[in-house]
Structure 1
Amino acid sequence: MAAGGWTHATLAAKVEVDPKSVERWVNLGRVPRRSTALLAAETLGEDVHALWPALRQARPARAVSPELVALYDQRADIPATAFVDLLAQAGEHIDVLVYAAVFLHEAYPRLNALLRERAAAGATIRIAIGDADSPNVRQRGEEERFGHGIESRCQLALMHYRPLIGIPGIEVRTHGTTLYNSLYRGDDQMLVNAHVWGVNAYAAPVWHLRRSDAGGIFDTYAESFNAVWATASPVEEH
């Protein structure tokens, strides 16, 4: 599979997977996701079905992802404690990607104390909030008819999280990306608050995911968080 000058490492870099994944394809006969397999076959100049005959088999249509735990019509239907419980149960990873989401601190004033406790227990905590000066933040306010209120809420969110700056295991960054979904991750569970044009986040749908297989919908959102995190700016201590 690594013919034509391609090594496991260079092929992995080309198709954006871990080199160990390529080794498992070669040595253990594992089959990658179809999109990844197509890219790898194109890179190698090979027929994808010659490399992975199992992909010839038609995959049964699936109406609902096995990773979907629940789907809510709008965020307002979910008590804030559901978000807090998700974070409180995490032992390894807590990731939050929002513009402001000040409802968390408003509904649960102990949020910072909880995050300190999770960090002290060994969890890695990453909080990404909106940059109040970002054109994308201002545009979201216009689209949701929220005006400059969303910018002030980003500033309020930063004020809430600022006491966590410098705490080992916790990092807070600001981002200026277009926010397609707000993400709240605790280990292998995640609440995804969709964003709908012209609709405030509290009135938009939320899906609860639990990771089952590598490469599933959970990982899609986790990778999206990582991509935004890489563009975000660390908040420095004053």
Structure 2
Amino acid sequence: MFLTEDPAFIPALRAKAAAGARVRLLYGDPTSREVIRRSTDEGIGKMAISAKIRNALALVRQLDGEPGVEIRCHATTLYNSIYRYDDEMIVNSHVLGITAPHAPAMHLRRLSAGDLFGTYVQSFDRVWDTAKPPKW
């Protein structure tokens, strides 16, 4: 939610896509048992994360159909949140009983040596490949 609450977020994504960037937004399916389980595990109420996702989807919906922008939802286990920009990413690990803002986050860069960055790219791509467009 912290990204979609920034008034500059949607215009920035629209501009990046118009300039040729590939923008992929991937959210947990708010109706999936995995999202509901995560919400329960965090102790914030059964449907709290579902409501946050629905709110985020409502805000990004205006980008649906824009050239270069794809939006999908998935129903896989929520191990982490990945925010990637070119050769950098933030990975926010999900920790049982801890809400996302209080869980650890790693700043990763693609380097010529090592494969941690690539591991998270592959993870995202695997989930992306199973995801479907949101049910608006």
Query: Which TM-score tier does this pair reach, normalised by the shorter chain?
Result: over 0.9
User: Any idea what the Cα deviations from partners look like across 1:119-173, whole Å, max 9, x if unmatched?
Assistant: 0111001000111110000000110011111111111011011000000000000
Distance 1:132 1:230 in 2: 18
What amino acid is the match of 2:72?
A: R
> Equivalent of 1:212, from 95, 106, 111?
111
Distance 2:54 2:17 in 1: 24
2:14 maps to what in 1?
116
Seen in structure 2, the aligned counterparts of structure 1 residues 235 and 142 have a Cα distance that, compared at 3 Å, is closer
1:198 maps to what in 2?
97
Runs of 4+ aligned structure 1 residues displaced above 2 Å come to none
Distance 1:158 1:152 in 2: 10
1:151 aligns with 2:50: yes
Q: Counterpart of 1:103 in 2: which secondary structure?
A: coil
Q: Tell me whether 144-153 or 133-142 shows the greater mean CA deviation.
A: 144-153
Provide TM-score, normalisation by structure 1: 0.55
Corresponding pairs, count = 135
Deviation at 1:214, TM superposition (A): 6.6
1:180 aligns with 2:79: yes
The structure whose Rg is larger is 1
Which structure shows the higher helix fraction? Answer: 1
Provide TM-score, normalisation by structure 2: 0.95
Distance 2:59 2:74 in 1: 16
- Contact kept, 8 Å, 1:174 with 1:234, in 2: the verdict is yes
Percent identity between the two aligned chains: 48
1:24 maps to what in 2?
none
> Equivalent of 1:161, from 60, 82, 104?
60
Distance 1:184 1:207 in 2: 10
What amino acid is the match of 1:157?
A: A
Q: Structure 2 matches for 1:81-160, cutoff 5 A?
A: 102-106=1-5, 108-147=6-45, 148-160=47-59
Flag structure 2 segments of 5+ consecutive residues without an equivalent. Answer: none
Distance 1:235 1:153 in 2: 14
- Contact kept, 8 Å, 1:180 with 1:194, in 2: the verdict is yes
1:221 aligns with 2:120: yes
CA RMSD for the aligned pairs?
A: 1.3
Seen in structure 2, the aligned counterparts of structure 1 residues 214 and 165 have a Cα distance that, compared at 3 Å, is farther
- Contact kept, 8 Å, 1:172 with 1:235, in 2: the verdict is yes
